[in-house]
Amino acid sequence: MVSASVTIPSDGAALAGDLEIPAGVRAMVLFAHGSGSSRHSPRNRAVATALQLAGFGTLLLDLLTEEESEDAVTGRHRFDIGLLSRRLAHAVDWLERRADTADLPVGLFGASTGAAAALVAATERPQRVSAVVSRGGRPDLADDALPLVSAPVLLIVGGDDEVVLDLNHRAAERLSAAAHHVHVVPGATHLFPEPGALEQVAELAAGWFREHL
């Protein structure tokens, strides 16, 4: 098993990441965090741990540098989907350059604005990204990239997260991927803090990646 802190170059920036590759790994899942979050997000780490137990390798990555993420005045980088998706695509390239991950299928798991970045990155690396899962995401922010996504897409949304649920349904209508689905977790709110809700997210994500990776 590989467990390491890594640094991934992207257009002059050095992005910090946590790489986990379990024995007998079947595929890699790269996490794209939402605005104001980081690779230390307890929610994404919980999902990553569940995926590792299911045989997937994970890369939790900070798409912003420390200086960029601390920009509390404008927060402009947090919603720069072009920047985030480009860095995510570079991380996909980085996995392809590693001997122990080069031949593994890649899935993307995005939360909040990270979901939009994951969808755009999937259009930029269509030969490498084989599936995308969104948790409480903002796929609508992917905008014109939505009809271009060819990878299977699972959009997981809390049933009580009404505004985001509506945005996800609207985004799903624009997806042209043969396999795409909006899964509603009843009674869950935006961050899935309700008992058992995050466990459902992890189980759904593992099932989607298992089927499509």
Q: What are the DSSP calls for 187-200, one per residue?
A: T--TT--STTHHHH
* 3-7, 67-71, 155-159, 206-210: least confidently modelled range: 67-71
* Structural domain for 26, as ranges: 2-212
Q: Which residues pair with 58 in a beta bridge?
A: 20, 29
Give CA–CA dist 157/168, Å, rounded: 8
pLDDT above 70 (res 128):
yes
Cα-atom radius of gyration of the chain, to the nearest Å? 16
Q: Give the CATH number for residue 107.
A: 3.40.50.1820
- pLDDT (tens digit, 9 = 90+) per residue, 34-48? 766 678 788 999 999
Give the number of domains in the chain. 1
Predicted structure pTM score: 0.94
**Which amino acid belongs to residue 12?**
G
Sheet hosting strand 13-21, strand order edge to edge: 2-10, 13-21, 56-61, 27-32, 106-111, 129-135, 153-158, 180-185
- pLDDT (tens digit, 9 = 90+) per residue, 169-190? 999 999 998 899 999 999 999 9
